[in-house]
Structure 1
């Protein structure tokens, strides 16, 4: 196998591991995501078990595609930036994560618009409800045009900083942990093989916490922009600036952190699951390739 072929296999292994991790994560965390989204929009959360799985299909589709693409783009960018040096640093991690996040945001924003609307719709909130993913997609295109599928894109692009902070923190914390484990076992090579499932869980949760605390207000603004217009067809928010101004005027600083508790309850364990599954699936794929 040539060096370029090996690199191609490595990128696809990252994509597969990321997709499996995204699927596992959304299956576990979706009910809390519904609660968090409805808190952000001040909509009642009490709709029974079925209501907690509103928007589940687009969430599964979006997370599986997003994580697969994210890990693929991230590792491709990292290898490209590392062309003339042996080891990645924080600047390379940050640039790679920002590049991956921007590409994924542009490609998957329509899925997240549909997911958010399915999560937010309630009988008293709108007229005729969407019956599912395809109906929501067709209705949005028919009633509002293709541009509606890119509502919230601007704050979504700002949220690229979320992924950049998370992945940079993860990589830097991981290096520290690998060095620590290596000092405990100097006879072993300094690699990810030194880390355990508990280590991956800790790294995932701690890096996610850092990213959430910095970027959460952008999530609130994006959710508010992506909601469905009321029955009279008039949106509550014209653009990102209007959403920020209205939130600040009517709710103050606390409005920008509405729903952060269920967000933390969902995302910290979810991040742990993502990286546990990703790292273990990646290691499994790599071991299988070496055997072949």
Structure 2
């Protein structure tokens, strides 16, 4: 009877610390947005500017966009949509790492064994789909706030709450999920590619660093440092961005605010694809990719540096508990 007591206590500790991946992901998401938000504003404005009738100013390149926004709109213009971006990124990364870790645990037959690339892919895809369903309304509001300029003809949103209330009043609940289809494709494919690349590159670096060391002399965590995490995050992000960027353009164009008569510029994803291909060609699907890479490559490095190091601290605290 007395020998059965330690097991439920150990299980209780494990359950109490299951949130550590989500906490590390949330911290990483906040740090990423705070550092890189102006480039996100520039990217969004490039994405929706199709060269036809638009209330947005025309920018020559990323640097010109940043200087023009700063000159005409000030710091508020460069940080338009910052609140929903912080909330969305923090919640998204927190949920993503949480769902991803739980999916990996479920897919793993032996918790000490390494998952195959296919199972990493499945875990990341599952996490991406769940996150997209939870956060699409936040990203829609962020997009609309970022597209507000002094040239806007319609009454601007005053903030996150006002935008949500106005959208639901003028367009209904369904409007909060505009862009959900390309968003799902984006989240599932982007996350799957990024995390599969990250995990495989991570294993490669660990194997390389551990080949001259005694087996089990050091844990995987101790073999890697912040420079390794930065390289891993940046490399995996580049691969994901290049392969999935058109989904971002389609989603951004769908999420624009309707005209004053209430008619959306684009009716659905297929309409965006047809119109973009017709008037802009392949280049239209990659508008804004330069600020996107400038934002996301270092941002991915920041994300994984913060995530891995916060996770280390939480694991250390768990061992002491």
Contact 1:37–1:223, Cα closer than 8 Å, also in 2: yes
Q: Which residue of 2 aligns with 1:179?
A: 207
* Deviation for aligned residue 1:93: 0.5
Distance 1:232 1:5, change over 3 A: same
Aligned partners of 1:271, 1:246: CA distance in 2, in Å? Answer: 32
Q: What TM-score results when the alignment is normalised by the length of structure 1?
A: 0.96
Compute the displacement of 1:185 (Å).
3.2
Using the size of structure 2 for normalisation, the TM-score is: 0.88
Q: CA deviation at 1:183?
A: 1.6
1:229 aligns with 2:229: no
Aligned to 2:48: 41
Q: Does 1:209 align with 2:216?
A: no
Q: Deviations over 1:198-230 (max 9, x none)?
A: 000000000000100100000000000001012
Unaligned 5+ runs, structure 2: 1-6, 50-55, 58-64
- 1:54 alignment partner in structure 2: 80
> In structure 2, how many angstroms separate the alpha carbons of the residues matched to 1:5 and 1:163?
31
Q: Following the alignment from structure 1 to structure 2, what is the Cα–Cα distance between the partners of residues 123 and 230?
A: 16
Distance across 2 between alignment mates of 1:284 and 1:53: 31
The Cα of 1:47 is off from its aligned counterpart by 2.6
1:19 pairs with one of 26, 38, 44: 26
**Cα contact 2:181–2:269 (8 A) shared by 1:** yes
* Residue 161 (structure 2) pairs with residue 134 (structure 1): yes
Task: Give the 5 Å matches for 1:1-292.
Answer: 2=8, 4-42=11-49, 43-44=56-57, 45=65, 46-48=68-70, 49-84=75-110, 86-159=113-186, 160-186=188-214, 188-292=217-321
Task: Report the CA distance shift for 1:195/1:203 in structure 2 as closer, same or farther (over 3 A).
Answer: same
Would the aligned equivalents of 2:77 and 2:149 in 1 still touch at CA under 8 Å? no
Retained in 1: the 8 A contact 2:221–2:312? no
Please state whether the residue corresponding to 1:47 is helix, strand or coil.
helix
Contact 1:182–1:190 (Cα < 8 Å) also in 2: no
Pairwise CA distance, 1:4:
4.1
**Aligned counterparts of 1:186 and 1:230: Cα–Cα separation in 2:** 66
C-alpha distance after superposition, 1:94-124 (max 9, x if no partner): 0000010000000000000000000012232
Contact 2:92 2:135 in 1 (8 A): yes
User: Any stretches of 5+ residues in structure 1 without a counterpart?
Assistant: none
Higher-Rg member (1/2): 2
Contact 2:24–2:307 (Cα < 8 Å) also in 1: yes
Which piece of structure 1 moves more, 43-52 or 174-183? 43-52
Change (3 A) 1:83 1:10: farther
